[in-house]
Amino acid sequence: MMAISVNSDIPRLVMFRCFVLFANVFVAAGAPWIYPYAPDVGPDKSDPFPVFPDSFAFGASTSAYQIEGGWLSGGKGFSIWDAFSHIPGNIANGDTGDVAIDHYNRFHEDVLLLQRFGVKHYRFSIAWTRIMPTGVEPVNEQGVKFYNDLINALIDAGITPYVTLFHSDMPLALQLRNGNAFLLPDFPKLFSDYARVVFRSFGDRVKTWFTFNEPWCSAVLGTSGGEVPYQIAHSILLAHAEAVAVYRSEFKSQLGAVGIVLNTAHFFPGSTHAEDVASALRSYDFNFNWFAQPIYGGGDYPDVMRRSLGQRLPTFTAEQRKKLNGSADFIAINIYSASINSPGTTPFPDPSPTFWSDINVTSATLSSWPTSDMGWAIVPEGMRGLLRYLSSMYKYPIYITENGVALQETSVESAVNDTSRSQFIHDHIKELGKALTVDNVDVRGYFVWSIFDNLEWGSGFTKKFGMVHVDHSTLDRTPKHSLYWYKSLIDGDDFVL
Ligand code: BGC
């Protein structure tokens, strides 16, 4: 990414204040609230930490493949990650999720750890291949038992479970049918059949469901260009709508809520100029509204995407639009970073378009922004910007289902001194709190990614996101500074770092 350097804060702050005024008018007129980056300086910085309502959910998130291990245990089938991780060169250091952090065998200990640190809201995912080893019936009762035991342990410990049905670990047997199971014509039926089993098995105790985690990643990362990303996204949206229809028609008496987890950065326009504002909005359209608008905003894709992609963007039937529109009870977002956006430079016409040439936006970061061990810019102000944007667009309650930071931690000693992770979480929660208390955004929960160090996909165990250090030879768990700090925040004792 290109770095933009900023010479002086003063003109920018004056410009920012003017723009806020302008933005207020803009919002009042019903347009999205989007404004250029300005560092959080001035009186706000010394403001007291916002006061959160008792009902606000402070939690932590994980996913099955990243923590469970037990890849051959309890009748589980293979997922695409089991296969991919066993091909040399695919994952850093040859790491795999075969054992991961052995949560499969140590979940009792892990639940006690959550309880000890006051984390009363826990989001995890179910491995489709534990419930249905080949992706279809028969159901594997040992897999059902594992999640029953986990859910019961959580509830006994006073922890509310939040469950994702799909977090990247597609059953291998489905993938082998055509090379990309999302593109199977009956994928929506396959997924909703699996969802039905999950709702039936655990819905008496689980009251918050997420169908998919980050469909944008499934559609864009590691796929080819042309129309493929849009076809995958289309299929996931239809599968989501089908599963929600199953939940609402067959399991209404469970009185739960259902949604989907979308990922986005916050997109600041490079300036108040119309083309920069349009670029930030275009980034939101191609990254977020691509999924959000069909679900929360009327059942169809953003006009900007339709105009840019033409026939490459699939179309919904009237019946599908009806099913999609309103097919979630809340907005759930994973946010890690932010960028500054201006027009892109793709030649027109582009002979072999990809998602990136389609979006055609230049996303930059400031050299003053620190970066995480993933190389991602750390921009707490993006949290508030995102929440204000979301609430100007859609009238749904919002959960931040993932936010966190990878730090370089080469020993347990350095890991437990992760004060910069505590600072990261503190600063992001403070910005979220301002959106809640100053801007009146209806945000109801915040989940740290992640409670444990875990398998960070292609980076293996080299990237550390956890508030708990895990030693990969002994599998010992050691809480870090950030978890102690998070506990004090949850307890309402001490927000000061
Ligand atoms: C994913 C997690 C991942 C995290 C950090 C999110 O996009 O849901 O599975 O580990 O980001 O990369």
In order, the DSSP letters of 94-143 are G--TTTTT-HHHHHHHHHHHHHHTT--EEEEE--HHHHSTTSSSSP-HHH
Q: Which atom of ligand 1 is nearest to the CA of 214?
A: 8
Q: Which atom of ligand 1 is nearest to the CA of 63?
A: 9
Per DSSP, the residues of 220-282 read HTT--STTHHHHHHHHHHHHHHHHHHHHHHHSGGG--EEEEEEE--EEEESSSSHHHHHHHHH
Q: Which atom of ligand 1 is nearest to the CA of 465?
A: 5
Q: Specify which of 31-45, 338-352, 376-390 reaches the highest per-range mean pLDDT.
A: 376-390
Q: Is the CB of 449 under 6 A from ligand 1?
A: yes
Tell me the CA–centroid distance for residue 217 and ligand 1, in Å: 10
Do residues 259 and 331 touch, judged by C-beta distance below 8 A? yes
Looking at residues 465-489, what average pLDDT do you find?
A: 97
Tell me the CA–centroid distance for residue 334 and ligand 1, in Å: 8
Report helix angle 481-491 to 419-437, nearest 10: 30
Task: Report pLDDT digits (tens) over 377-426.
Answer: 999 999 999 999 999 999 999 999 999 999 999 999 999 999 999 999 99
pLDDT surpassing 80 at residue 465: yes
Counting other chains too, the contacts that 298-301 makes at CB distance below 8 Å and 24 or more residues apart are 298/325, 299/323, 299/324, 299/325
The band of 44, judged by pLDDT with boundaries at 50, 70 and 90, is low
Choose among 361, 325, 327, 356: nearest CA to 343.
361
Q: What is the pLDDT of residue 6?
A: 27
Tell me the CA–centroid distance for residue 260 and ligand 1, in Å: 15
Q: What is the pLDDT of residue 46?
A: 66
User: What would the two tokens of residue 212 be?
Assistant: 């998919």
Mark whether 402 is an active-site residue.
yes
Q: To 5 degrees, how large is the angle CA 86–CA 376–CA 19?
A: 150
Q: Which atom of ligand 1 is nearest to the CA of 217?
A: 7
Q: What is the rounded average pLDDT for all residues in the chain?
A: 93
Q: Is the CB of 461 under 6 A from ligand 1?
A: no
pLDDT surpassing 80 at residue 23: no
Domains and CATH numbers, the chain: 12-491 (3.20.20.80)
Q: Is the CB of 264 under 6 A from ligand 1?
A: no
User: What would the two tokens of residue 227 be?
Assistant: 């129309």
User: What would the two tokens of residue 319 be?
Assistant: 């019946």
Q: Is the CB of 372 under 6 A from ligand 1?
A: no
| Percent of the chain residues past pLDDT 90, beyond the cut | 88
Q: What is the pLDDT of residue 304?
A: 98
Q: Is the CB of 334 under 6 A from ligand 1?
A: yes
Show Cβ contacts of residue 384 under 8 Å, excluding neighbours closer than 6 positions.
Answer: 431, 432, 434, 435, 439
Q: Is the CB of 242 under 6 A from ligand 1?
A: no
For residue 423, the one-letter residue type is Q
Q: What is the pLDDT of residue 31?
A: 57
Q: What is the pLDDT of residue 48?
A: 82
Q: What is the pTM of this model?
A: 0.94
Tell me the CA–centroid distance for residue 21 and ligand 1, in Å: 36
Q: What is the pLDDT of residue 249?
A: 98
Q: Which atom of ligand 1 is nearest to the CA of 457?
A: 10
For residue 436, the one-letter residue type is L
Q: Which atom of ligand 1 is nearest to the CA of 168?
A: 9
Which protein residue's CA is at the shortest distance from atom 10 of ligand 1?
456
Q: What is the pLDDT of residue 27?
A: 41
Do residues 117 and 395 touch, judged by C-beta distance below 8 A? no
Choose among 215, 390, 361, 353: nearest CA to 290.
215
Mark whether 214 is an active-site residue.
yes
Tell me the CA–centroid distance for residue 330 and ligand 1, in Å: 20
Q: Per DSSP, what are the bridge partners of residue 5?
A: none
List the end-to-end C-alpha distance of the chain, in Å, as a whole number.
32
Identify which of 334, 400, 407, 451 to mutate to test ligand 1's pocket (most ligand atoms within 8 A of the CB): 334
Tell me the CA–centroid distance for residue 226 and ligand 1, in Å: 25
Dist CA 430 CA 449 (whole Å): 17
Q: Is the CB of 214 under 6 A from ligand 1?
A: yes
pLDDT surpassing 90 at residue 165: yes
The burial of 55, by beta-carbon neighbours within 10 Å (0-12 exposed, 13-18 middle, 19 or more buried), is given as exposed
Q: Is the CB of 213 under 6 A from ligand 1?
A: yes
Looking at residues 285-312, what average pLDDT do you find?
A: 98
pLDDT surpassing 90 at residue 26: no
Write down the catalytic residue from 68, 242, 402, 456: 402
Tell me the CA–centroid distance for residue 332 and ligand 1, in Å: 14
Q: Which atom of ligand 1 is nearest to the CA of 213?
A: 8
**Exposure letters 17-35 (e unless 16+ CB within 10 A, then b):** eebeeebeebbeeeebbbb
Q: What is the dihedral of CA 491, 446, 122, 61, to 10 degrees?
A: -130
Tell me the CA–centroid distance for residue 370 and ligand 1, in Å: 19
Looking at residues 97-121, what average pLDDT do you find?
A: 98
Q: Is the CB of 456 under 6 A from ligand 1?
A: yes
Show Cβ contacts of residue 261 under 8 Å, excluding neighbours closer than 6 positions.
Answer: 164, 210, 212, 213, 214, 332, 333, 334, 401, 402
Q: Specify which of 3-17, 46-60, 198-212 reaches the highest per-range mean pLDDT.
A: 198-212
Which protein residue's CA is at the shortest distance from atom 12 of ligand 1?
456
Write down the catalytic residue from 68, 214, 242, 381: 214
pLDDT surpassing 80 at residue 15: no
